[in-house]
Structure 1
Amino acid sequence: MIDALQTATTGMTRATDRLGTAAETIAASGAPVGDTALPPAAQVDLTSAAADLVGSKSAFALNAAVARTADRMMGQLLDISA
């Protein structure tokens, strides 16, 4: 069950990283950089970034559910052995 918690924690970390990358992509579209500006948002394909936002939210929630389940199972195992 410790493996499940480690796997869930790793999954939540990766989902958080994906969310941050997608958010940076969205925030950077159209933002001025130095003397030049990035292409306007209308010319940048933001659909993949938006899909990453939704996907990372779901991945985080699923990994959190795994962590809660592993924690509950560990508690039940300790209750049985006590």
Structure 2
Amino acid sequence: MIDALQTATVGMARATDRLDTAAQTIASAGAPVSGTALQPAAQVDLSSAAVELLGSKSAFALNAAVARTADRMTGQLLDINA
């Protein structure tokens, strides 16, 4: 059960990193590059960043479900052994 918790924790951390990277990509779309000019839309792929946001949200939720299940199973195992 500990392995499942560790795997879920690592998965949630990676999903958080992916979310952060995608959010920074989206936020930089309106940031001035030099002076007052905005970054051209062709240089920022907002659609893939939005897909990455959704994917990281799903990955985090799935890993959290694994962690909850492993926690519940560990609790039941301890109850049986007690």
Q: Provide TM-score, normalisation by structure 1.
A: 0.90
Map of 1:1-82 to 2, 5 A cutoff? 1-35=1-35, 37-41=37-41, 43=42, 44-82=44-82
* Residue 45 (structure 1) shift: 2.1
CA RMSD of aligned residues (A): 1.4
One-letter code of the match for 1:9? T
Q: Does the 8 Å contact 1:30/1:37 carry over to 2?
A: no
The AA in structure 1 aligned to 2:48 is: S
| Identity rate, percent | 80
Is the CA contact (8 Å cut-off) linking 1:30 and 1:40 kept in structure 2?
no
What is the rounded CA distance, in whole Å, between the counterparts of 2:48 and 2:19 in structure 1? 12
Gaps of at least 5 residues in structure 2 are: none
Q: Which consecutive unaligned segments of at least 5 residues does structure 1 have?
A: none
Q: How far apart in 2 are the matches of 1:17 and 1:37?
A: 29
Q: Is the 8 A contact 2:4 2:67 kept in 1?
A: yes
Q: Return the structure number with greater strand share.
A: 1
Q: C-alpha displacement at 1:38, in angstroms?
A: 4.3
* Counterparts of 2:12 and 2:61, CA distance in 1: 8
